């Protein structure tokens, strides 16, 4: 399951985005969601794990299918109008991902 925060870059969500991106700890890593290599989704989206990653299997799940699914969901949300297209550059999204290891 996921926990989701979405808001303006200039508000509390933007500050949380910066904090999460810059405060990685052992076993807890944040990553930007990308649609394809070097193609980040918009709004800028940051994933972080909710439980400690203890091995390569967990990292592969987080950096592979979980990241790809979140990126596709963000793109689909903008395409369908759930997230207004004119706000895509003004918002940030933070996604806490809980994968049962």
Question: Is residue 100 among the annotated active site residues?
Answer: no
Task: Count up the domains in the chain and report the number.
Answer: 1
CATH code for position 67: 3.30.230.60
The predicted pLDDT at position 57 comes to: 80
The boundaries of the domain holding residue 66 are 2-97
pLDDT per residue as tens digits for the range 34-74: 999 999 999 999 998 887 877 788 778 888 888 999 999 99
* Catalytically annotated residue among 1, 26, 37, 39: 1
pLDDT per residue as tens digits for the range 18-31: 999 998 887 778 89
Nearest-angstrom CA–CA distance, 92 and 6:
6
**Overall pTM surpassing 0.85 (yes/no):** yes
67 and 47 in contact (C-beta within 8 Å)?
Answer: yes
Nearest-angstrom CA–CA distance, 39 and 42:
9
The predicted pLDDT at position 65 comes to: 86
């Amino acid at each position: 399951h996921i926990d989701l925060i979405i808001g303006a870059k200039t508000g509390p969500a933007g500050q949380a985005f910066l904090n999460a991106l810059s405060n990685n700890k052992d076993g807890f890593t944040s990553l930007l969601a990308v649609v394809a290599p070097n193609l980040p989704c918009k709004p800028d989206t940051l994933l972080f794990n909710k439980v400690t990653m203890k091995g390569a299997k967990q990292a592969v799940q987080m950096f592979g299918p979980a990241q790809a699914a979140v990126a596709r969901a963000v793109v689909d949300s903008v395409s369908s109008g759930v997230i207004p297209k004119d706000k895509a550059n003004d918002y940030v999204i933070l996604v806490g991902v809980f994968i049962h290891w």
